[in-house]
Amino acid sequence: MSSISAAPQVPHLVLAAGLLMCGLANAGRPLTVDDANTDDAGTGHVEAWYARQPGRANTWTVAPAFSPMDGLELGASTTRDRTAASTSQSLQAKWRITPSQEAGCNNAVVLGASQTRRQSGTTPYINGLLTCNSALGATHVNLGAQRAPGGPGVGTWGLAHEREWGPMTFHVEAFGQRLAKPTFQIGARKELSPNLQLDATLGRNNRQKLFSVGLKQSF
């Protein structure tokens, strides 16, 4: 009896994890936890990556972003889940409230919404961001909330630290949502040229191994 009742819960757990990833998907690669910085005015970037997500979902994502003015970054993403044969899209705006500090902290806020094709309703989300820079690297803190169609609002959180080491930048991070097991992840990025970045992550969520590999082109 217990196995029958538990089985329907698996898709809901996978969906909850997927919605969390969507809510944080537009963070700068390879981080999932977002930073409180934006591109310079008049510049932008395009990120593309493959990821193995919770539920053994194989996904491909393309995420462009552009800053039309100082402190404002507009972003979008399209994710194709080849395992579930579904496509999700999101739009968001990041406002950097205080200037970035080389030695100190600044904050920002993200407002956005995601939607899966052929499903009714959208998932709006809000995320408060804090970044603190020091000689030891950069620490990022996220606190937010999201609301799936027909469901209650759910709190989200994230904590990350990144540091340059020679030609590469490494990071460790943890993120999750209320009443769900967190994801722990490590990652690295390297500039192949002044405007081209190669990155990758390796993580774990509820005994499942996660990974991703991607590219970022700045313009």
Instruction: Name the domain count of the chain.
Output: 1
Q: What percent of the chain has pLDDT over 90?
A: 83
Query: How confident is the model over 44-65, as a mean pLDDT?
Result: 96
Could you give the CA distance from residue 145 to residue 143 in angstroms, rounded to a whole number? 7
- pLDDT at residue 125 tops 70: yes
For the ranges 39-53, 66-80, 109-123, the lowest mean pLDDT is seen at: 109-123
What is the predicted pLDDT for the residue at 58? 97
What is the predicted pLDDT for the residue at 126? 98
CA nearest 43: which of 78, 21, 68, 63? 68
State pLDDT tens for residues 81-114. Answer: 999 999 999 999 999 999 999 999 999 999 999 9
pLDDT band at 17 (very low <50, low <70, confident <90, very high): very low
Higher pLDDT, 21 or 131: 131
pLDDT band at 14 (very low <50, low <70, confident <90, very high): very low
Could you give the CA distance from residue 72 to residue 93 in angstroms, rounded to a whole number? 7
CA 159 to chain CA mean position, Å: 12
β-pairing, 123-134 with 72-81? unpaired
State which residues form the domain around 214. Answer: 2-218
pLDDT band at 188 (very low <50, low <70, confident <90, very high): very high
What is the predicted pLDDT for the residue at 143? 98
What is the predicted pLDDT for the residue at 24? 52
Q: What is the CATH number of the domain that holds 121?
A: 2.40.160.40
Q: What percent of the chain has pLDDT over 70?
A: 88
